[in-house]
Amino acid sequence: MTAVEANGVVLGVEHFGDVEAPLVLCAGSTTMLSWHDSLCESLARGGRHVVRYDLRDSGSSTTVDPEAPAYTLRDLAADAAALARALDDRPAHLAGIGVGGMVAQVAALDHPGTFSALTLAGTRPVAPGPVDEDLPDHDAATMGRLFSRPMPDWSDRDAVAEHAAEGAAILGNDPAAARRLAERTWDRTPGTLPAVQLANQLGVVFAKLDCEPRWRERLPELTLPTLVVHGRHDPFFPVGNGEVLAREIPRAQLHVLEHASTAIPDAAAEEVATAMLAL
């Protein structure tokens, strides 16, 4: 684990491989660990220098006040671009998962010369909040079950891991994998584990983030090779969101994981890596 100063902040990063131009992985809901080791290792075996990193206010990156972020979605996009330029003079393949996929879309639009390819996994073309009428929203029944649960004691590692495993079962992900991921996330959370910071690492901070202006209408401007990866059974961002992204980004490829929900399962790591490396 290392740190890179980019765009005025310090970003915690982890490297896999060191051969070709960087493949930068923008974090989703659980810091950089939202990009599982198995996928990072598969991409590195394919000859890429894979770099996953923590967004601001999470993991080992600069943390100020997750409860009241003083930056915008476009600042997070600028972070991604600055990190890519700090890593290598050559354009990087940028990948974003979940809310990180929103960051990646804006980064590719705002910094077009910085990136050579784009992968968008389990995301959608609009910011958190009310969705466009043609985009399927979160599955209401699933979200009701997920968010009606009492919060755990965030200072209790086992309780946090159990909460994550229960949530994974509701979403259709692997509970055992979610438990291990929550334990690792808990272990690398700096400070005294305030609830707001772990909530940020679950993506809740995006509800408070300034995500203006809209970027969906700019998607046809993207000219770089783009892969859209989406789980067939994703109840959080249903697969129709990925279908819209693939339709509105010129020549984008849609790769649906037939047995996946919100997470990319370890069993699909080689499949997804192969599709990403083919861009």
The predicted-structure confidence for 172-219, as pLDDT tens digits, reads as follows: 999 999 999 988 888 887 554 445 455 545 555 667 788 889 999 999
Q: Which two tokens stand for residue 99?
A: 């809310």
Q: Label residue 3 by pLDDT band (50, 70, 90).
A: very high
- 77-109 per-position pLDDT tens digit: 999 999 999 999 999 999 999 999 999 999 999
Distances (CA, A) of 137 to 22, 141, 199, 205: 33, 12, 21, 19
Q: Which two tokens stand for residue 134?
A: 């043609």
Looking at residue 203, what is its pLDDT?
A: 58
Q: Please enumerate in sequence order all residues whose Cβ is within 8 A of that of 210, keeping only pairs 6 or more positions apart, or say none.
A: 72, 73
Q: Rounded to the nearest 10 degrees, how much is the dihedral formed by the CA atoms of 208, 209, 214, 218?
A: -140
Question: What is the average pLDDT across 22-35?
Answer: 90
What is the spatial distance between Cα 225 and Cα 202, in angstroms, rounded to a whole number? 29
Looking at residue 116, what is its pLDDT?
A: 97
Q: Any idea what DSSP says for residue 264?
A: -
Mark out the alpha helices in 93-205 (DSSP H runs).
Answer: 99-110, 140-147, 157-171, 175-187, 195-200
Question: What is the average pLDDT across 126-136?
Answer: 91
Report yes or no: 62 and 70 within 8 Å, Cβ to Cβ. no
Strands, sheet with 2-6, edge to edge from the N-terminal-most edge strand = 2-6, 9-16, 49-53, 22-26, 92-97, 115-121, 226-231, 253-257
Mean pLDDT of the chain: 91
- pTM for the full model? 0.95
Q: Any idea what DSSP says for residue 217?
A: G
3-state secondary structure of 40: helix
3-state secondary structure of 3: strand
Say how many residues make up the chain.
Answer: 279
Report yes or no: 22 and 92 within 8 Å, Cβ to Cβ. yes
pLDDT at 228 over 70: yes
First to last CA, the chain: 27
- 133-179 per-position pLDDT tens digit: 999 999 999 999 999 999 888 888 899 899 999 999 999 999 999 99
Q: Which of 93, 126, 102 is nearest to 225 (CA)?
A: 93
Question: What is the average pLDDT across 250-259?
Answer: 98
Chain mean position to CA 56: 13
Task: Show the domains of the chain with their CATH numbers.
Answer: 2-138+192-277 (3.40.50.1820)
- 34-68 per-position pLDDT tens digit: 999 999 999 999 999 999 999 988 888 888 877 78
Choice between 270 and 195, residue whose per-residue pLDDT is larger: 270
